[in-house]
Structure 1
């Protein structure tokens, strides 16, 4: 398994976790903390800490995702020598013999056109 594949798997996992953490939060300040009774004046079971944890985990996962994306870009740059397609290789020239071309693709000379 290549280094890029490992980075790709980690990026997908972190992105999934980031989506889950963001979906748990409520944009109006409720979210997971409101389901534990944090909407009122009392704080049962440290609900404020739950909100702080979700905020910190969002920033940590976003930072980790950015770092993994940048690292995967470096991993791609290391494999430039392994071109699999001739279309990507500018030094590769492929010529097709004239007898393999269809008749309408072969240009006529001045003598043949008269």
Structure 2
């Protein structure tokens, strides 16, 4: 397994976790942070601490995702060969195959004859 593949798997996992953390948050206070409050008297961890945790985890996962993406660029396998565009190379010649000959269309009857159109009387005389 190459280093790039490991980075790619890590990027997918971190992106999935980031989506989950963002979806759990609710800006109106009705998300996971409000479900930890027990009727106003009992609080498991507290609403403020849950909101802080979700906020910090969002920023941490976003930063980690950005760093993994930048590091994966370093891990891409690059061969020693240079592959340049043939459009930029003035010495490169490209050959295109010739199109196949069209079938003979003279056997088909024409839809209108040109003689009929010229024999018609002119209306402006």
The ranges of structure 1 where at least 4 consecutive aligned residues each deviate by more than 4 angstroms after the TM superposition are 40-43, 91-96
The CA RMSD over aligned residues, in Å, is: 2.9
Q: Which has the larger radius of gyration?
A: 2
Q: Unaligned regions of 5+ residues in structure 1, if any?
A: 105-114
Residue correspondences, number: 94
**TM-score relative to the length of structure 1:** 0.66
Q: Residue 117 of structure 2 aligns with which residue?
A: none
**TM-score relative to the length of structure 2:** 0.61
Q: Residue 84 of structure 2 aligns with which residue?
A: 90
Residue 14 of structure 1: CA displacement?
0.1
Q: How does 1:76-87 map to 2 (within 5 A)?
A: 76=76, 79-81=77-79
Q: How does 1:25-64 map to 2 (within 5 A)?
A: 25-37=25-37, 42=41, 44-47=43-46, 48-64=48-64
Q: Unaligned regions of 5+ residues in structure 2, if any?
A: 87-91, 101-125
